Amino acid sequence: MDHFEYLNGELHVEQVAITAIASEVGTPFYCYSTATLERHYKVFTDAFEGTDALVCYSLKSNGNLAIVRTLARQGAGADIVSEGELHRALAAGIPAEKIVFSGVGKERTAMQAALDVGIYQFNVESLPELEALDEVARGAAEQAPVALRINPDVDAGSHHKISTGRREDKFGIPWTEALDAYARAAAMPGIEIVGIDVHIGSQLSSLEPFEAAFRKVADLVEALRAEGHNIRRLDLGGGLGVPYHEDDEVPPLPANYGKMIKDVAGHLECQILLEPGRLISANAGVLVSSVIYLKHSGNRTFVIVDGAMNDLLRPALYDAYHRILPVKEPNADAPREPVDVVGPICETGDTFAQDRALPPLNPGDLVVFCTAGAYGAVMSSTYNGRPLVPEVLVNGDRYAVVRRRQSLDEMLDAEDVPDWLPAAG
């Protein structure tokens, strides 16, 4: 459920008309719903009521400070993958003792920064990373709390670019090497073993891959405890999918996900760590864009909008589907004709939809790309010299610009021309 609906013939975010926001900030822009963020977080956490669980929102899905602070106020921790995300989580008000540091390429400076503030856990993905963390921790006369990320060799069945639990993926330590890796970790004075980490991918539409992976991890907990390791935390990652397409298989409900985890791992008496991202933020955001031109070419009609692949990369990167809605509510009997919705970037890949049946659109009309709150603005760029677009957060009948539109001069400010090149003009 989200809080985007037609009221009096036009699309609203909670109690605010999208046209009202567009008239102030221009298009394209991202728009988020506070009520949707809070509801999704509550539905997820309610699934683990009565258990020792820590929910760490995955900043990589949407790291806007206002989004993260909204969730911090609900009690969320943070799952981070860089020193920049550590800085962002702390700035948003998430306490260090609720921060988990994931990612395959942690640098020593980032490890030191995380140790300095006292994060809750490092999810270590390889033996070289483990050795580096041990060295950094010993240099600081500390012990780093570590869960080793174990790759269970389970195919999640999702897009190959977001699968992370197969043996050929770059993530984690192979299942067959887990016992040896923990033995190595136990011998390192800068490392404190606290748990096991597993994450098999993103946008999963079935519980079966989760259950297969979690059962293997539960067996590993028993094996490691038998060897004397104090395994007391079980980090199960994120990955629950959301429906992008009207015909998508309905993903598992958080309540069913929580029940499955309790059934599989409840007897272990471990603290459960969870790292939802997309599930929390995806349906809480849309990208709002204006139609620039209609172009007829042969038997195709192109709807050219001012949003582009640099603003919303998922369709170009993953062939991802996003529902497209006109902001002005169409009549129920309005004809639907197949069109290609494209952006202005000089790439054929700058295409949001092909042969999509939409009601009539005209230059100046507003459209929204739904389910764009995750991996939307956070993946945007300035390709083709296009400024980063604004982000707007709505709360009831109020809204605020939470990232302003980047100016052309601001895009140039980070660059310098060497002194051997003559001044322009």
Give catalytic residues, as residue numbers.
346
* 312 φ/ψ angles, rounded to the nearest 5 degrees: -135, 100
* Beta-sheet pairing, 191-197 with 144-151: parallel
- Would you give the DSSP letter of residue 98? G
Tokens standing for residue 108 = 């020593």
Tokens standing for residue 349 = 């890949």
- Going 56 to 57 to 63 to 65, the CA torsion angle's sign is negative
- DSSP secondary structure letters along 114-137: HHHHT-SEEEE-SHHHHHHHHHHH
d(CA 345, CA 148): 42
Q: Which own/partner pairs from 52-55 qualify as long-range (CB within 8 Å, at least 24 positions apart)?
A: 52/270, 52/271, 52/272, 53/271, 53/272, 53/273, 53/274, 54/98, 54/120, 54/271, 54/272, 54/273, 54/274, 55/274, 55/276
